[in-house]
Amino acid sequence: MKTLFAKSVPGRKGVCLNEPQLKAADVLPKSMMRQSPAQLPELSELDVVRHFTRLSHLNYSVDGNFYPLGSCTMKYNPKFIEQAAALPGFTRLHPLMAQLKGAGHFTQGALAVMYDLESLLCEITGMAAYTLHPMAGAHGELTGAMLIAAYHADKGNTNKTKVIIPDSAHGTNPASAHLAGFDIVSIESRDGMVDPEALREALDDDVAAVMLTCPNTLGLFEKHLPEIVEMIHEKDALLYYDGANMNAIMGKMRVGDAGFDVVHLNLHKTFATPHGGGGPGSGPVGVSPRLKPYLPVSRVKKLEDGRFVLDYDHPKSIGYMAPFYGNFGVYLKAYAYILRLGGAGLTRASENAVLAANYIRARVSSLLEVPHNDICKHEFVCSVVGDELNGVRALDVGKALLDKGFHAPTVYFPLIVPECLMIEPTETESKSTLDDFVDALAEIIETAKTDPESVKHAPVTLPVTRLDETRAARSMELTDDV
């Protein structure tokens, strides 16, 4: 596909403006006038519309097709949330307006949304308070880990240098805890669960916290949760809940009630909001009462007369975690989504996400090995192994699915299952879409048995086919010829 510059035709116009009454030369100093015309493509409106429409069709998106990307939760995002986020009363606010003398009344609606959203998240997860600042899940983890460090430092627990993370946790957990200054202790899971014995062994007085991803990366809910919580609290260690995938849990279990001290949510996974390609995201962090004093500033405070203000008076706060207040547009979308669904709707969303994942799991288990073939939550992991597959790997199956119009599942994660596909259908897909997906997968497995080479060369129908990934990275050749 040519670029707009290559499509330029001299003299072609998209918009015809009236002769200006005031010439630039009459008002601008000569030194500021351009000497030669701007090198812009000359195109009609239709050229531009078709160019960008075609480009958008080269992109795979959840608005176009099924996107079962495990852990990333690429669910359909209802369009009404975009309307909420586009309301001019919000989009025309400047982030500094809240501090501008005399402009406070313009920001009351925005602050009310933030305050309400924090309360709703407290209600959904049973935590005492939230900060909305973190701008992604991993950023929420870092914030949580810093809160844990601040808590122990404040209590004088200087020995608390380690964080235990099971091998079934999300990959960002160790990185975030390390960035907050902790040493990481990894423990092996048993039967897809945290092994209480392994935990007991690793749990010494130096442990500041344990970070659990629940449901874990195998899509399984931790069976030994009460025992684990008790063990950790006995050591004056804190419990971190990676709640990025709350879409399996909402309305079923409250993290705070279960005894956790910190949780982060991914608004951009569980509470609508299109994401991918690096953003925008939001990873609010909820805390138990004992961690509240350390939350980032500013905090939204409701005054007795009902007005909202930004409050910076928190001397033990870990400080700023984001410019201004985080990704405000994402809050609006999550807020609209939560209000529209209500408590019963969120619970049903969880139930449908779990039902859809288990439906696919049951069908896939006759095609591929499912290592922990037990009732899963929002996702499950299967393994592309077996002599009959003639060396066809998870990567090949993922690529072959692209040819059949489906986005590939997450591949090669979690690391504890070889050649794995991590499949997350989400709650919004119909049974017929789920069936079409499994049928496509079944066809690919069948082809692997009879004509493995064709699977190994997929995709053949997409603008970009199989790349030599190493060569592509080392000797990049940029082209617009797709």
Ligand X SMILES: *Cc1c(COP(=O)(O)O)cnc(C)c1O
Q: Which residues bind ligand X (CB under 6 A)?
A: 71-72, 136-138, 170, 172, 213, 242, 244-245, 266, 281, 283
Q: Treating both helix axes as pointing N-terminal to C-terminal, what angle do 172-179 and 137-155 enclose, rounded to 10 degrees?
A: 40
Q: Cβ 283 to ligand X, closest distance in Å?
A: 6
Alpha helices in 20-136 (DSSP H): 24-27, 45-58, 80-85, 88-91, 108-125
Q: Which amino acid is at 85?
A: A
Closer by beta carbon to ligand X, 136 or else 239: 136
Whole-number Å distance between alpha carbons of 20 and 38: 18
Q: Cβ 263 to ligand X, closest distance in Å?
A: 11
Whole-number Å distance between alpha carbons of 206 and 251: 35
Q: Whose CB is nearest to ligand X?
A: 137
Q: Cβ 108 to ligand X, closest distance in Å?
A: 30
Closer by beta carbon to ligand X, 214 or else 332: 214
Alpha helices in 328-430 (DSSP H): 328-364, 394-403
Q: Cβ 378 to ligand X, closest distance in Å?
A: 10
Q: Cβ 55 to ligand X, closest distance in Å?
A: 25
**Contact residues for 321 (Cβ-Cβ < 8 A; gap 6+):** 131, 133, 134, 139, 142, 143, 146, 296
Q: Rounded to 5 degrees, what are φ and ψ at 191?
A: 55, 35
**Contact residues for 469 (Cβ-Cβ < 8 A; gap 6+):** none
Closer by beta carbon to ligand X, 169 or else 229: 169
* 194 bridge partner residues: 189
Q: Cβ 217 to ligand X, closest distance in Å?
A: 7
Closer by beta carbon to ligand X, 135 or else 458: 135
Beta carbons of 148 and 295 less than 8 angstroms apart: no
What does the DSSP assignment read for 176-199?
HHHHTTPEEEEE-EETTEE-HHHH
Q: Cβ 170 to ligand X, closest distance in Å?
A: 3
Closer by beta carbon to ligand X, 107 or else 144: 144
Closer by beta carbon to ligand X, 215 or else 256: 215
* 183 bridge partner residues: 162
Closer by beta carbon to ligand X, 216 or else 317: 216
Q: Which tokens sit at 302?
A: 């409701």
Q: Cβ 238 to ligand X, closest distance in Å?
A: 18
Q: Cβ 168 to ligand X, closest distance in Å?
A: 10
CB atoms closer than 10 angstroms to residue 223: 14
Q: Cβ 121 to ligand X, closest distance in Å?
A: 16
Closer by beta carbon to ligand X, 177 or else 448: 177
Q: Cβ 183 to ligand X, closest distance in Å?
A: 20
Closer by beta carbon to ligand X, 125 or else 266: 266
What does the DSSP assignment read for 223-286?
TTHHHHHHHHHHTT-EEEEEETTGGGTTTT--TTTTT-SEEEE-HHHHS-----TT------EE
Q: Which tokens sit at 168?
A: 């079934």
Whole-number Å distance between alpha carbons of 95 and 107: 9
Collapsing DSSP to helix, strand or coil, 167 comes out as coil
Closer by beta carbon to ligand X, 214 or else 392: 214
Closer by beta carbon to ligand X, 264 or else 393: 264
Q: Which amino acid is at 364?
A: V
Cα dihedral 446, 447, 448, 451 sign: positive
